Amino acid sequence: MKISAIRKDYIKDRLSEHEAGEDPLALFGKWLDDAVKSGVCEPTAMVLSTISHEGYPSSRVVLLKGLDNGRLLFYTNYTSNKGRHLSENPRASLLFFWGELERQVRFEGNVTQLPAKDSDEYFLSRPYESRIGALVSRQSTVIAGREELDREFARLFNRMKANQEEMRRPEYWGGYALDPVSVEFWQGRANRLHDRLRYSKANVNWIRERLSP
C-alpha cells in the first residue's frame, strides 16, 4: 500500500460567513445535530489534547457529555494522565472530526473541575456496570493483565449486588468543563481550498475571521 496515493475529494458542503453566524456555540450545536441525524459513528467523540509538565503533548478520545453556558463537559479519572496534566496546566484543546460530513471543529480553552454535586449527578446517571468500572479502574496505571481487571470487576459487582450497597462516586472520578477562547470550523472543499472560520473570544464577544486553508 502506498500511503501517499490515498486521496479523497471534498465536495459535500460549504461554509459561508452568512451561514455561520456570529455565535460559534450556536453553529457547533447545529453541526453536532447534523452529525447525529446523519448517523455519524460516535458523534460526541472528541480528541482531548493536554500538555505534561515536561512539555509533551498527549491526545486521546473522550466523549462530550454536555454543554453548559458555552462550556463543553466531559468526565474522567482525576488521577489519570489527562487528569494530572490538567492539574498542572489547565488548558486544553478539543477536536471533533466528522469524516462523513467532511467537517471538523477545534476548541481551545481553559479547563476547570466541575462541582462535586454535578459529578455526583452524572455518575449516578451512568449504567450500573459503567459505575462499577469506574470504581475498579486505576486509569493509566500498569496492571499485570486483563484477568486482574475482570476478577476485580466480578468481585466488586457480586459484593455490591449481594449486600445491596449504595454506590457512591469515587473522589478520584468526576467532571471537567472547557471554557473556549478559540473555536475553529473546517469544512472540506474541492481542490483542497477548504473553508476555515475561526472565532476568538474578546471579552464577552467573539471575533470571526476566515483563515487560508
So what's the pLDDT on residue 133?
A: 93
The C-alpha cell of 6 is what? 490515498
Q: Is 157 exposed, middle or buried (0-12, 13-18, 19+ CB in 10 A)?
A: middle
So what's the pLDDT on residue 160?
A: 85
Q: Of residues 192, 198, 208, 210, which has the active-site annotation?
A: 192
84 assigned to active site:
no
Residue 62 Cα to chain centre, angstroms: 4
Asked whether residue 172 is marked as a ligand-binding residue, the answer is no
Contact (CB, 8 A) for 40 and 73: no
Residues 156-178 have pLDDT tens digits of: 999 988 887 788 999 999 999 99
Asked whether residue 78 is marked as a ligand-binding residue, the answer is no
Tell me the percentage of the chain whose pLDDT exceeds 70: 100
The alpha helices in the chain, defined as continuous H runs, are 17-20, 24-37, 81-88, 116-125, 128-136, 146-163
3-state SS assignment for residue 71: strand
The C-alpha cell of 130 is what? 459503567
Residues 12-53 have pLDDT tens digits of: 999 999 999 999 999 999 999 999 999 999 999 999 999 999
Asked whether residue 194 is marked as a ligand-binding residue, the answer is yes
Contact (CB, 8 A) for 65 and 74: yes
What element of type H or E holds 163? helix 146-163
Contact (CB, 8 A) for 74 and 175: yes
Contact (CB, 8 A) for 52 and 88: yes
Contact (CB, 8 A) for 196 and 184: yes
3-state SS assignment for residue 5: helix
Asked whether residue 47 is marked as a ligand-binding residue, the answer is no
Domains and CATH numbers, the chain: 8-116+174-210 (2.30.110.10)
3-state SS assignment for residue 170: coil
Asked whether residue 120 is marked as a ligand-binding residue, the answer is no
50 vs 81: CA distance, rounded Å: 9
Residue closest to 43 by CA, chosen among 53, 55, 54, 29: 29
pLDDT at 93 over 90: yes
Contact (CB, 8 A) for 169 and 117: no
Asked whether residue 151 is marked as a ligand-binding residue, the answer is no
Asked whether residue 63 is marked as a ligand-binding residue, the answer is yes
Model pTM score: 0.94
What element of type H or E holds 124? helix 116-125
DSSP at 199: E
Residues 59-92 have pLDDT tens digits of: 999 999 999 999 999 999 999 999 999 999 999 9
Note every long-range contact of 151-159, with CB atoms under 8 Å and residues 24 or more positions apart, other chains counting: 156/132, 157/129, 157/132
